């Protein structure tokens, strides 16, 4: 049976700093690189052959994919065959991007910040709701991922928590 493996990127610098990241291109921390290596080791333990790799266009996702693949596949053959898809980018947090979550809680209250982060239909200021993210990703899943799965391909998709 074929597999679709979903992998969230490792810890980024702004994850560490408790900041809204969204579409900002923020690198992995050393911890994030370790997490990516561990993910690759787990994939190797599973003994699954991966046919196709997709990531978002953000470096934290691409780097996680490269590190995990190197750990999983010592020959590294598919490292250069990562298809980068903008539709898989993290949720756009708009005006919240780059801001510290704790400071926003002090300004707007915990309830409002939680609403921006977790509500399905409510957009953060000038950003995307989770519903918007789903609408962005769904065509890619239907047009690209499902046909590959139906062809019996094993897919590794490296993206973001909200995507």
Query: What residues act catalytically?
Result: 9, 90
Contact between 65 and 158 under an 8 Å Cβ cutoff? The reply is yes
Contact between 64 and 163 under an 8 Å Cβ cutoff? The reply is no
Residue 50's SS3 state is coil
Sign of the dihedral through C-alpha 25, 31, 37, 43:
negative
Residues with Cβ < 8 Å from 95, sequence gap 6 or more? 124, 125, 126, 127
CA-wise closest residue to 64 among 163, 162, 156:
156
Alpha helices, DSSP H, located in 73-162:
101-108, 110-118, 130-140, 146-150
């Amino acid at each position: 049976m074929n597999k679709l493996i979903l992998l969230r990127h490792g810890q980024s610098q702004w994850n560490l700093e408790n900041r809204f990241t969204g579409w900002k291109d923020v690198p992995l921390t050393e911890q994030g690189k370790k997490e990516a290596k561990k993910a690759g080791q787990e994939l190797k333990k599973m003994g699954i052959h991966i046919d196709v790799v997709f990531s978002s266009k953000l470096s934290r996702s691409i780097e996680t994919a490269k590190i995990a693949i190197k750990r999983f596949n010592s020959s590294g053959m598919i490292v250069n065959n990562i298809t980068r898809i903008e539709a898989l980018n993290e949720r756009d947090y708009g005006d919240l991007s780059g801001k510290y979550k704790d400071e926003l809680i002090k300004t707007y209250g915990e309830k409002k910040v939680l609403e921006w982060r977790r509500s399905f239909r409510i957009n953060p200021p000038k950003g995307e709701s989770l519903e918007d993210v789903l609408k962005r990703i769904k065509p890619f899943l239907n047009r690209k991922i499902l046909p590959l799965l139906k062809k019996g391909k094993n897919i590794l998709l490296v993206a973001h928590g909200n995507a």
